[in-house]
Amino acid sequence: MSKVKAAVFASGTGSNFQALLETDNLQCEIALLVCDNPHAAVIDKASAYKIPVFAFNPKSFSSKAAFEERIVERLQKAGISWIFLAGYMRLVGPTLLEAFNNKMINIHPSLLPEFPGKDAIGQAYHSGVRKTGVTIHYVDEGMDTGPIIAQESIEVLNEDTERSLKEKIQQVEHQLYPKVINQLLQQSEGLI
């Protein structure tokens, strides 16, 4: 039986993308990287793993619907069944949401609903909270508002810096995302 094909959407360095690629028992094939920043470091990581890339500049399109239609075409052509957002810094619109209803998840570096959006780690660190973490959730039309699938908390220690907190969060992300993805894929295949 062939593996389910998935696409990862990313905009930056791609640490979660790389972690997924390096997961030995991932129950899907990462068959495409979608990137809204043609100069992002994640593209080099995809090339190193021979993963096809669809990189685009949103400003080259007349509307969000126009670039999302192009993305959906590429996803369908590649036989993609699932989308995993991993540092994709753009709200997903109705065109993509309708095409991949309940087949699109995101990882976010906070315990949602606290600290949605950009710089969640910095927001948490500077707010003085004693606990933050990682959330994996289904994607909806809002900013990190979709139904939560899993969360894991991290204690913020007095000696933590923003950088050390980011490193702790990334360690959890790199373990939790593949685990949750595998569970979702098994559930969708009726295996558990």
Catalytic residue ranges? 108
Annotated binding site: 14-16, 64, 89-92, 106
CA distance 97 to 46: 24
Q: Which residue in 75, 95, 86 sits closest to 5, CA to CA?
A: 75
Residue 101: other Cβ atoms inside 10 A: 11
- CA end-to-end span of the chain: 17
Annotated binding site for (6R)-10-formyltetrahydrofolate: 64, 89-92, 106
CA distance 136 to 128: 23
Q: Which residue type, as a one-letter code, is found at position 6?
A: A
